[in-house]
Amino acid sequence: MKVKVSHITKIFPSRNKKSKETVTALDDFSFEIPDGKLVGLLGPSGCGKSTMLNVISGLEKPTSGRVYFGEDDVTDLPPEVRGVGLVFQNYALYPHMTVRKNIMFPLENLKGDKKLTKEQMQERVEQAAKLVQITDYMERKPSQMSGGQQQRVAIARALVKLPGILLLDEPLSNLDARLRLQTREELRRIQRETGITTVFVTHDQEEAMSISDMIVVMKEGVLNQVGKPQEIYDDPVNLFVAKFLGTPPINVFRGRLAGGRLMIGSEPVLEAKAAPDREVWIGVRPEGFIPAEDGELTCSFVNVEVMGRDTTVVSTHPDCENASIRSIISSDLKVEPKNGSVKFRLKPHKVHLFDAETEERLRTELLPVGEGREHA
């Protein structure tokens, strides 16, 4: 089912009784999820991800704005009639019920013409259990299972009533690194098999990038960017999005546009024709560096890390915001520091400029140094 949230604002009264201050968890938030897609809701802690999920599920009422499932306005419907499955951050499996009873619980609540017979319920439970591969543990209590198994039970419980939408709130955050990798593949498989529209909250950009069809990046309750993972990575709308996506993170330099050139310190690193002079933030993706003896950017060499395929050159630069510059280069290129420094050329399409004040993206055309000059 298609999901659309339109101009959602959610204001919480202050938790602290004495102060009258309110918390704006979501601020005029709009986006649309196409039917059958897996969407990652990505943002730092406290930015309103869970609140967004609760608004979609109906657990929270938005202060203003509407929520649509398909063509229907569901804003005023209670959660149970919206037909959503929700997996909680801590799974919230009922500890006193066996796995089977946990999964069956939503079915037993069905009323009216949706009511199922005992046999139908059993069958649906078996199907859901099979889908998430927990048929061997049906008589166990949640406390007798590993985190990954519990998470699958939680997904089965959310899926058993065949919801139109599946919502997951940081479902992998309780798992260790390896299990997390494995489980997110699993999640992707389940989503593909069922074709169910899924919203998946995470603050881990790598997780979001790896399995989402689409990512919604948010910060402090405000939508920053929506798009395919690669699109957002290649074309961030502001410095926050650029910094939030990618490992190792983007390298940010203080710089300026001056006389048609992009300057870091006193070195012109790229040509930027027809751009007015101004202060800028310069973001360079780790793969945007090419070590070259005649390179324009001079950095102090720290060391080289070789990890399998990749070679990472670690260096520092006084104008760089990051503690160290990490540049990933192809392993057949040799790095030979001279007098403790290395020189890089920059790939223009891996370099993004942002306004020094607003941190919004500047769409200035960049060219390698020299190319612009030849025409001049």
Our CB check for other proteins shows the closer of 83 and 249 to be: 83
Q: How far is the CB of 89 from ligand ATP (least distance, A)?
A: 7
Question: Of 43, 48, 62, 85, which lies in the binding site for other proteins, with binding defined by CB under 8 A?
Answer: 85
Question: Of 100, 124, 152, 157, which lies in the binding site for other proteins, with binding defined by CB under 8 A?
Answer: 157
Q: Is 51 in the site for ligand ATP (CB under 6 A)?
A: yes
Contacts (Cβ under 8 Å, ≥6 apart) of 91: 142, 150, 151, 153, 154, 174
What is the C-alpha separation between 231 and 214, in angstroms, rounded? 10
Helix intervals (H) in the chain: 49-57, 79-82, 99-108, 118-131, 147-159, 177-194, 205-211, 229-234, 239-244, 371-375
Question: Of 3, 38, 49, 57, which lies in the binding site for other proteins, with binding defined by CB under 8 A?
Answer: 57
Selected range binding ligand ATP among 38-46, 97-105, 180-188, 292-300, rule: CB under 6 A: 38-46
Query: Site residues for ligand ATP, window 7-26 (CB under 6 A)?
Result: 12, 15, 23, 25
Question: Of 34, 46, 78, 370, which lies in the binding site for ligand ATP, with binding defined by CB under 6 A?
Answer: 46
Place of tokens 């997390």: 180
Which DSSP string do the residues of 287-348 spell out, in sequence order?
Answer: GGEEE-TT-SEEEEEEEEEEETTEEEEEEE-TTBSSSSEEEEE-TTS----BTTEEEEEE-G
Q: Is 174 left (phi over 0), alpha (psi -120 to 50) or beta?
A: alpha
Question: Of 90, 120, 135, 303, which lies in the binding site for other proteins, with binding defined by CB under 8 A?
Answer: 90
Structure tokens at 376: 């001049």
**3-state DSSP assignment of residue 178:** helix
Place of tokens 């990051």: 322
Counting residues that bind other proteins (by CB under 8 A) gives 25
Please provide residue 205's backbone torsions phi and psi, each rounded to the nearest 5 degrees: -65, -30
Selected range binding ligand ATP among 43-51, 247-255, 274-282, 363-371, rule: CB under 6 A: 43-51
Q: Is 351 in the site for other proteins (CB under 8 A)?
A: no
Q: How far is the CB of 169 from Mg ion (least distance, A)?
A: 6
Q: Is 110 in the site for other proteins (CB under 8 A)?
A: yes
Q: How far is the CB of 100 from other proteins (least distance, A)?
A: 14
Structure tokens at 187: 């999640």
Q: Which residues of the shown chain bind other proteins in the complex (CB under 8 A)? A: 57, 59, 78-81, 84-86, 88, 90, 92, 94-96, 105-106, 108-111, 141, 157-158, 161
